[in-house]
Structure 1
Amino acid sequence: MYLHTELLINEIAVDEPDPAAANALQEGLGGQFGEMRTMMQYLFQSINFRGDVKSKPYKDLLQGVGTEEISHVELIGTTISRLLDGSPAYQGRKNDPVDKPGARGATPLSIALDHSNIHHYLVGAQGALPVDAAGNPWSGSYVYNSGNLVLDLLYNLMLESTGRLQKCRIYEMTDNKTARSTIAYLIVRDQAHENAFAKALESLGVDWGKVLPIPKTNAERFPEVKKLVDRGLQSVQYTFSADNLSEADKLYRGASPSNDGTELTTDVMPQGFPMSISPERKEEFSPGLDPELLALIQATAEQEIRIADSPGN
């Protein structure tokens, strides 16, 4: 069973909306090496895992990383949504009538034509989509699950390395604080997952020498990344094991394969950061509940409570 804690795994910085950055981030969400793939790949590998009781730490490691990837999908999707929210005013012209379509001759969604992925407005109402940066739908054919533990771990390490490489490139594409806060976090967590799969492979006889981390970009020169690395976030792995039965700590321990002088540790889950609901977007015809519907819902709820509290029930 899975439990959802209503917290974001990382804090999203506040900045002006930026639809171009949102579209670049779509690659990190729904691309071939994005968070939707890592989530599905590791969860399917853990679901389909075969072995005896001595193999349980490997299954638990896959399960823990896969569960974390669910939160990464939530994080990057929420970031895309915030980068798009109110994006007709993303240059900071706060007196523009963005919530009054047609007011003073305004065309609130004109930015959709040349600054971003038009489907963010036509289909997604200024929200994330399960697609890559070119608009191609995410595909289940990306998921790799061979049934061979060593091969799957090698493939997972390649997946994390490629995802980290792409996120380093996306970081260089934008200086938007909202985008960079999430990109930097995912760069560091991708390294933690590189360490996870590398450590598992070490236990199976692989010697990494000086190969890791991949890519050797010195990502610590990105200030948001350095802040997280200084906290040691690249060397901790979460189990998300509510009953504390995970044995992933039997693998994720000892000197980091990244050769950065840190020791690998495990924890149940991070502290998290508050979540909020996005505001209405009238120009997208995406309001919340209108007053009449809210009144009907309230009246229905009160009636159900009266029935439940009546004698004989």
Structure 2
Amino acid sequence: MYFHVQRLINEIEQDEPDPAAANALQEGLGGQFGEMRTMMQYLFQSINFRGAAAKPYRDLIQGVGTEEISHVELIGTTISRLLDGSPAYQGKKSDPIDKPGSAGAIPLNIALDQGNIHHYLVGAQGALPVDSVGNPWSGSYVYNSGNLVLDLLYNLMLESTGRLQKCRMYEMTANKTARSTISYLIVRDQAHENAFAKALETLGINWKNTLPIPKTNAQKFPEVKRLLDLGLQSKQYSFDLTGQSEAGKIFQGMSPSKDGTKLDAGEQAPEGVPSTISPERFEEFSPGADKDLIALIEATAAMEMADIEATFGALNAPA
């Protein structure tokens, strides 16, 4: 079972809308090496896992896959915020929905010459399950051979390629909203590379001669360096409410990245940051919920949280 804590796994910094950056980030969401791919690949590998004696490997893959769900949420929310309104549109909520913005600006003119027009035509200024050129995400990306060594090798390659692409995305934009998410994913991709590399080592596979972890020199990016200095590349979370994960039997010892850090699988989950909902976009004809529906949602959420706490106790957050 999966439970959702209504917090984002990392903070998204505030900056101006940037549809071009949003479109670049679509590759990191719905591309062949994006977060939707890693999420689905690891979850299917863990669902189809066989061999009770190899449970620590299943738990490791499942923990990474569960984290990838939060990465899909993070990068999708970032794309939505990068698309949230046109800089030229300064209309008020009391304005008619067809009234131009200040100085006669057209509310959605930014959609015509920047980024992906589908973000505005069919996505209401939100993320889509596509890559950066609009190709829909495909389940054929998912690799699940049933052979543990092959799957781990493929997972290491997937994380390595994803990190390379995110380093390129970082260099495509100076937008703080985009960079705050990209830098976090660069570091967490390295943590997942470490996880799969360490798993291969425990199986006696000399992966370094075949598939080295690529050196990107991403530590030169200031946002990335701050996270590396915190050791985030060497942590792996269990996302396990019951304390039954055995992933720590694998994710331990010195980091395969050879950066002098020790691997740590002792935390259930990162603390995260508050998750907020963006305001309505009236120029997209996308109003929010009415008062009665909001009250019903809040009451239902309170009942669900009470049920979770009655069954599992209060959710544990790291100190």
User: What TM-score results when the alignment is normalised by the length of structure 1?
Assistant: 0.89
Q: Tell me the equivalent position of 1:97.
A: 91
Q: Deviations over 1:191-245 (max 9, x none)?
A: 0000000000001112345888633121000000000000000000001010010
Instruction: Assess, with a 3 A threshold, how the Cα gap between structure 1 residues 209 and 246 changes in structure 2: closer, same or farther.
Output: same
Please state whether the residue corresponding to 2:136 is helix, strand or coil. coil
Displacement after TM superposition at 1:17 (Å): 1.0
Output aligned runs, 1:291-302, within 5 Å.
294=291
Q: Deviations over 1:4-29 (max 9, x none)?
A: 11110001111111110000000000
- 1:195/1:235 contact within 8 Å kept: yes
Corresponding letter in the other structure for 2:116: N
Q: What stretches of structure 2 of length at least 5 have no aligned partner? A: 300-319
Q: Does 1:2 align with 2:16?
A: no
Q: Within 1, Cα distance between the matches of 2:14 and 2:209?
A: 38
Q: Within 1, Cα distance between the matches of 2:217 and 2:161?
A: 15
Q: Deviations over 1:245-290 (max 9, x none)?
A: 0000000000100011110011210011000011010000001135
Displacement after TM superposition at 1:62 (Å): 0.7
Corresponding letter in the other structure for 1:112: A
Q: Within 2, Cα distance between the matches of 1:37 and 1:295?
A: 37
Q: Within 2, Cα distance between the matches of 1:295 and 1:259?
A: 56
- 1:98/1:283 contact within 8 Å kept: no
Please state whether the residue corresponding to 2:25 is helix, strand or coil. helix
Displacement after TM superposition at 1:298 (Å): 6.9
Instruction: Assess, with a 3 A threshold, how the Cα gap between structure 1 residues 253 and 286 changes in structure 2: closer, same or farther.
Output: same
Q: Within 1, Cα distance between the matches of 2:210 and 2:146?
A: 26
Q: Tell me the equivalent position of 1:218.
A: 217
Q: Within 2, Cα distance between the matches of 1:210 and 1:262?
A: 22
Q: Does 1:115 align with 2:114?
A: yes
Corresponding letter in the other structure for 2:167: C
Displacement after TM superposition at 1:106 (Å): 2.9
Corresponding letter in the other structure for 1:229: L
Output aligned runs, 1:106-255, within 5 Å.
106-209=105-208, 214-255=213-254
Please state whether the residue corresponding to 1:255 is helix, strand or coil. coil
Runs of 4+ in structure 1 displaced over 6 angstroms?
210-213, 296-299
Q: Within 1, Cα distance between the matches of 2:153 and 2:179?
A: 29
Q: Tell me the equivalent position of 1:268.
A: 268
Corresponding letter in the other structure for 1:20: A
- 1:97/1:106 contact within 8 Å kept: no
Displacement after TM superposition at 1:123 (Å): 0.6
Q: Within 2, Cα distance between the matches of 1:115 and 1:211?
A: 41
Q: Within 1, Cα distance between the matches of 2:92 and 2:172?
A: 26
Please state whether the residue corresponding to 2:264 is helix, strand or coil. strand
Instruction: Assess, with a 3 A threshold, how the Cα gap between structure 1 residues 152 and 212 changes in structure 2: closer, same or farther.
Output: closer
Corresponding letter in the other structure for 1:244: G
Q: Within 2, Cα distance between the matches of 1:56 and 1:296?
A: 43
Please state whether the residue corresponding to 1:67 is helix, strand or coil. helix
- 1:98/1:108 contact within 8 Å kept: no
Q: Which moved more, 1:95-104 or 1:193-202?
A: 95-104
Q: Tell me the equivalent position of 1:17.
A: 17
Please state whether the residue corresponding to 2:116 is helix, strand or coil. coil
Q: What stretches of structure 1 of length at least 5 have no aligned partner? A: 303-313
Q: Name which one, 1 or 2, has greater alpha-carbon Rg.
A: 1
Output aligned runs, 1:5-84, within 5 Å.
5-52=5-52, 54-84=53-83
Q: Deviations over 1:108-146 (max 9, x none)?
A: 111111101001000110000000000110000100000
Displacement after TM superposition at 1:102 (Å): 3.1
- Amino-acid identity (%): 74
User: What TM-score results when the alignment is normalised by the length of structure 2?
Assistant: 0.87
Corresponding letter in the other structure for 2:99: G
